[in-house]
Structure 1
């Protein structure tokens, strides 16, 4: 029996999301990842200076009086350009550079490759693991650890050679693979004098798209705190995961509403918010894709462990009150026993009817 897992039926279920009325725009012309000619599948952020385009800026002339002008790096001149954009923008406009980092390879990624995507989606992903691996709130594989350490090495190279301005704020998804990736990427870097310390805020709304897969089910707050006790967890973070239930899943529209709310809690946060121009968000492929949709960026898939910066213009709209949107969620039918697989679809054995209930691992 064929099971449709990619186009599930809509139910009368919805998530209510409050968001400040902000319009986001990608400011193009600064990064290769903004250009349609850049192929995401072959993009290597470590080979192209995070994708920063080698170009002049309108504000370069303001720096020519400096004695070391001829030795300023591309990132130093870019930082000045963003600072000037903020200084000359009205109060209701902010510019920030978001460093969107995808976690390194997790055990769920390895399992999907092993079983194949159709079988993974409609059976194996609903379990906590198999006899050799656990993918409930998946941790990093050895390859994923290596990818995060590659990011660490590259950040240090950019600090030493490009004198890049390191993030003023750090945020990380609460799922284990992102927590581990952020820790390996940023802990122990030799940061420039005066830089913000790496002390990331664990933020619920930057998590992966919430599906019925157990890899999207986070550990409880107490466990997360015990693993990273010095990292602040945002106010209101629940002990149990109240968003995942193994039965219903976010639609893209629901996730985009969540991403917009998350971004609204990064922009316009204080009177000095314009000074916190560089922001790191360690997250997931699906959530980064959602953020890119919200800010009007072209689709750009990241390999595990990859990082892209984007320059964002945020403008508050006329109504400054928070708005509430209600977006339907979905259910997905899945098999109760290992499926018969094919390259393009998942098929349950004839004796096994698909279900829309939580599977026991």
Structure 2
């Protein structure tokens, strides 16, 4: 019976892959984690300057801070990514012979957009602690197949106290980087496993972000004092995607909780494993995150896990490809789509003379908010995904990124060029 279900699952996954409608290519040269000389076993993104962002100039610096005296590396990086995307938009218009009076975006076969992904691994769970306690061989062959032991329960494992502390440390690191101009992720995705939801909660809840976050480049015009005072609390919404889950294996920690349990996780201040011990109290005074299921077909009970099934890497990458296609399809540039009336009189210069701030001049002070970005075919640039070691390993392979192992609660940023085929 289960073999039949898996066969149907594989057929469904294959049918959902949109290839070649969307392609993903990691772009090296921006983060130390891109470089083969960076040792993943000793690298800690939370203590590395700017999460590993390479200190370097960008061609786009000339339009925001040519002398590198008014802004930070993060602000110039964010400006660079947005400039790349606006240049792509201009090239599309030029390739199609568009004029300044056109009211639709051009019909070109492929449109490219640059995205920055923050791929975070969950903090230590009780299953991780148990593997460390019993050793890998005993864990794989015996303990991982059980729901727990006399002190811990690890079916869809909760975070251990150590895992919570790891996520809280990550929270402090994000807070420090926001004060350096790190762009705030515009959307937060997470695996359906409890340990990922908890990690995302502790990592991002209560963070103070610049009120100019809809216009990150406006930070360049603020004084140091103004940067410290124009802040507000991040309103966290976690979007749960089934297919971002860990590699499915007979390990009971790979079985997810029910949909009802997932949606009720933050309705109580008590954090405990779903069967009982141990219990950790969340003393945070911040409002709980909003949790939404991002899949229309998300079942009440786990439809994929079985004590006799183990995904191959090819299977994992196929379903991750489906997840990424679903995520980035909503960022797809219009084909064609109306250009806002405020930009209809903007004439396209050559790429060499293109000043990306001209579009902003036409759109006004809110030209980087999500609506304006979407209308221009630019979409979200910075995306957070909280996942697992196996899922991230296969994601990096899918993107063509060098392998980079993450320890519990580690994070790797990656610049990705997304190609939309029409």
Q: CA deviation at 1:47?
A: 2.1
CA distance in 2, matches of 1:309, 1:109: 23
Q: CA deviation at 1:194?
A: 4.6
Q: Deviations over 1:198-220 (max 9, x none)?
A: 21101111111111100010110
CA distance in 2, matches of 1:262, 1:95: 18
Whether 1:287 and 2:391 are equivalent positions in the alignment is yes
- Native 8 Å contact 1:172 1:178 kept in 2: yes
- Native 8 Å contact 2:112 2:420 kept in 1: yes
In terms of fraction of residues, the more helix-rich structure is 2
- Native 8 Å contact 2:171 2:202 kept in 1: yes
Q: CA deviation at 1:274?
A: 2.6
Partner residue in 1 for 2:18: 20
In terms of fraction of residues, the more strand-rich structure is 1
Structure 1 stretches lacking a partner, 5+ long: 1-11, 321-361
Partner residue in 1 for 2:193: 175
Within the candidate set 295, 306, 310, 2:410 is matched to 306
Q: CA deviation at 1:69?
A: 5.7
Q: CA deviation at 1:71?
A: 2.4
Q: CA deviation at 1:127?
A: 0.6
Partner residue in 2 for 1:262: 323
Query: 5 Å matches for 1:63-142?
Result: 63-64=64-65, 70-89=69-88, 90=92, 92-142=111-161
Partner residue in 1 for 2:309: 248
Query: 5 Å matches for 1:102-251?
Result: 102-160=121-179, 162-195=180-213, 197-228=235-266, 230-234=290-294, 235-251=296-312
The residue matched to 2:210 in structure 1 has which SS? coil
- Native 8 Å contact 1:170 1:201 kept in 2: yes
TM-score (norm 1): 0.81
TM-score (norm 2): 0.69
CA distance in 2, matches of 1:93, 1:285: 28
Once structures 1 and 2 are overlaid, which stretch shifts more, 117-126 or 84-93? 84-93
The residue matched to 2:328 in structure 1 has which SS? coil
Structure 2 stretches lacking a partner, 5+ long: 1-5, 93-109, 214-233, 268-289, 335-373
Task: Flag the structure with larger Rg.
Answer: 2
Q: CA deviation at 1:20?
A: 1.7
Q: Deviations over 1:136-179 (max 9, x none)?
A: 1011111111110011000000112x121110111011101111
CA distance in 2, matches of 1:19, 1:191: 36
